[in-house]
A and B are shown apart, each in its own frame.
Chain A
Amino acid sequence: MSNSESRDAAALLYKAMGAYASPGSDVEYRHLLARYRADSAFSEVVNGIAAGMELAILDVSERGLVIAPSGKKSRFSIKIGDLRLNMGEREKVAMVLVHMAIGTVFYPTTDHLEDEGRTPFPSSLTDIREKVVGIANQLRVAAEGDSYPAEELRPGWSLLLDLQEVMPDASRASMSSVHGIVKVCLMRMLTYGLVRKEGREEIGDKTVFTPTHQLRIQLRELTLPNLYRVTAESAAEANQG
């Protein structure tokens, strides 16, 4: 392995890790990507370095090399506290559901996710809030009765409907309204390069967001299979019970 080969392999990973790195604007990145796809010896080196650094290569295309931490123990993984400090259980549940709602608004079907030729719908904070509240309301109508035996057995939708949808006169994003939680989630996703914001002004109700390539790949390769497993698991448990 020549010196330049190891340097180039590390450089490719370094570029892939930048939140907004794009091969379109970076000639070196473009060359390294081409080399990764053409030169199997080089791709071996990159794969090796990635594996050693607890990184998983999710996808390679002309849009870039998409890497993710290989697990939550990986040092490259964000910590749950990076999203919001001192989250209680209910807040975590709300956070997951809103993240999923964001994924759902951008990529409602698996087909949207898999066909990279399809441009996702630009969506606003209000769209996402209405999506999550809408689905929760549908589930409430479909559910039998509105009482529940214990807090932890309460379905997730009920927890969301419990919150004020929009907090009147709230200027800061807080976790006490659905609107606020959507804002917190979008802000984090913006920080980590999962969504892009249109316009330079601060995030408002009508600010339009578009997902990045990274979000599509993360959803497709990690979140969706993970989510499918989680939902299938409970179905299997229900069948046994």
Chain B
Amino acid sequence: MNDFISMPEPPSARSIDLVDLTAHQRNLLLLKPILRLDLNKMAHSTEDNVSVLEGLDTNYLCLAALFFMMEGAAINQGYTRTDVQSHVMALVASMREGLTESNRLRVAGIVIDALSNAPNKYASFEEAFFHAPSGETRYIKFKLIRYEPDHEDIFRFTPTEAGYVVLMGMLDLEVEDYQILIEKMLVHLIENGRFEQALELANRARLLSIEHRQKIRDLIRRAARSPGTVNWRDDIYPQLSDARRHVEERQTVDHAMMESLSVKIRSLDNESAVASLQRLLRQLQSANLQRMRLLTDIGAAGDDFLKGQAAGFRARRRTGLPDLDHELFPKLMQKPAGEIARHAEDLLLSFYPAVPPNVFDLSSLFELLLERRGSYEFEGDEGEGGEIEQFPEIPNPFPDELIAKILDWLDAKMHSASEWTIERLIQLAQAEGLSFLERKAIAYELFRAYADSESRYPHLHAVVDGEFDTSVVSGDNLRYVSTEEGQDEQQ
């Protein structure tokens, strides 16, 4: 500590080396959906406000469901929703007694929904993390399980790669490398007589065989279903022969291990030791069985592909523009979403022919009305030379001072006790030497006073009284009679 303080440079001035932990962070975030369910247990309550998940380990349920789906991937192409549901329901029953059937079904639903992100329309989970090498926040998207139709169009759950990572204790080595690693450890443990640990590892070895098989089978399936999109010689064949070599090597090691185990079993007479060794042997045999099946899959892949290709034979010959399938479409798909969006409209509309305009369709009418037009800017006379008529601006004929003046004049008259008519007021104004415009303004003000709501003089009420004719205006003569209550208020 003292050394630290006596250092010449304060620690804050030193640049901090950011360790790249992306892989770790990624694996950590994969658990978030499962942990989130654990945190939000209270959100799923029954009528009497008790969480239906109370006393249940949702983490375990999620992992077990995931594990079960993986088992399904080994046997079938995954398990159906009903399969998974009943499995989870059985787990729930053993975890907490006394839950009704419908509540257990509900828990199973909650677990499956949490894994498949059902509240979010089955979209991928998205998590943010600090990406140390670039120093920015990044996002990863992942799914834990897939729910897809198999070749018989039955929807089945299988774990995704991310799901396998969650299951495999956060170690996402390439599955092939992992298999070799486990195998080395197995050999080591068996040689040292640590059979319990060996059994644990043999379990993992089996899981890996399953995952490996699913991975290769996906590849084969893709090739067989859309033979036009893969190049057998370049894309599929090398991967398959790698897989075959890998599996064969594993099998050799498997056989050696099983052989040595059998020898050991024969030489032992301690019954419990024999039993544990036999369990280990069975695990190894099970893993081996997966590999044998995989070899069969790989063997048949070539024929399947040929069949698929014969069904949709596509020769490629290049002329002019690059091909859609091989070049243009993948290139477009690789571009950032923002850029595709910029060109989206042009590209989309270029697909469609000329159609009669249908403005009277309600939807296009709304579209037209909601369309934001650029504001019009006058660009001088450079344009087409069309004639632009200036919009004549009509000046206000009554300036503010004039209005103020006539209102003063008028107020004095109207608030006096005598009764007035328009005709008399206009004549008076003329007699007092008010200008033509001023008299006109007076006339406007007086006619406005005809409506009580508009009137400047609420204590007076205008009534029509014959007609009049002056040099300024002519028309119905208005007589302003006082209204009692109005008068009271005013004064």
Contacts and interface: CB of A to CB of B under 8 A. Distances in A.
B324 A107 contact: yes
B121 A152 contact: no
A78 B336 contact: no
Interface in B309-354: 312, 314, 316-341, 343-354
A14 to B, nearest CB: 9
Given A78-B352, A218-B351, A110 B333 contact: no
Nearest to A101: B329
A156 B332 contact: yes
Contact of B357 (A75, A99, A131, A218): A75
Interface in A82-97: 82-83, 85, 89-90, 92-93, 95-97
B141 interface: yes
B337 A147 contact: no
Contacts of A113: 324
A218 B353 contact: yes
A136 interface: yes
Contacts of B486: none
B323 A110 contact: yes
Given A111-B318, A121-B312, A149-B138, A234 B339 contact: yes
A68 B349 CA distance: 10
B333 A131 contact: no
Nearest to A123: B312
Contact of B349 (A75, A77, A127): A77
B109 to A, nearest CB: 13
Given A109-B314, A218-B351, A89 B332 contact: no
A196 B389 CA distance: 53
Interface in B270-319: 312, 314, 316-319
A152 B122 contact: no
Nearest to A56: B354
Contacts of B139: 147-148
B333 A55 contact: no
B330 A138 contact: yes
Interface string B142-165: 100001110001010000000000
Contacts of A82: 363-364, 367
A10 interface: no
B121 A108 contact: no
A134 B318 contact: no
Q: Provide the main secondary structure of the chain A interface.
A: helix
Contacts of A80: 345, 348-349
B148 A149 contact: no
A83 to B, nearest CB: 7
B321 A162 contact: no
B348 A136 contact: no
Contacts of A193: 353
Interface string A61-81: 000001111001011111111
Interface stretch (B224-232, B256-264, B409-417): B224-232
Nearest to A74: B354
A139 B354 contact: no
Q: For chain B, give the interface size range.
A: 35 or more
Given A81-B367, A97-B333, A194 B351 contact: yes
A158 interface: yes
Given A104-B325, A110-B318, A135 B142 contact: no
Contacts of A90: 337, 341
B241 interface: no
B134 interface: yes
A228 B138 contact: no
Contact of A162 (B141, B333, B348, B357): B141
Contacts of B473: none
A24 to B, nearest CB: 18
Contacts of B141: 146, 158, 162
Contacts of A192: 352-353, 355
B321 to A, nearest CB: 5
Given A17-B355, A17-B356, A96-B347, A108 B122 contact: no
Nearest to A193: B353
B296 to A, nearest CB: 24
13 contacts: A89-B338, A100-B328, A109-B314, A109-B323, A109-B326, A110-B320, A114-B320, A135-B333, A139-B333, A139-B334, A156-B340, A162-B141, A231-B332
Interface of A: 16-17, 19, 55, 66-69, 72, 74-83, 85, 89-90, 92-93, 95-97, 99-101, 103-104, 107-111, 113-114, 121, 127, 130-131, 134-139, 143, 145-149, 151-168, 176-177, 189, 192-194, 205, 214-215, 218-219, 222-228, 230-231, 234-235
Top 8 nearest A-B pairs by Cβ distance? A152-B338, A108-B325, A76-B354, A164-B122, A92-B344, A222-B350, A81-B367, A147-B138
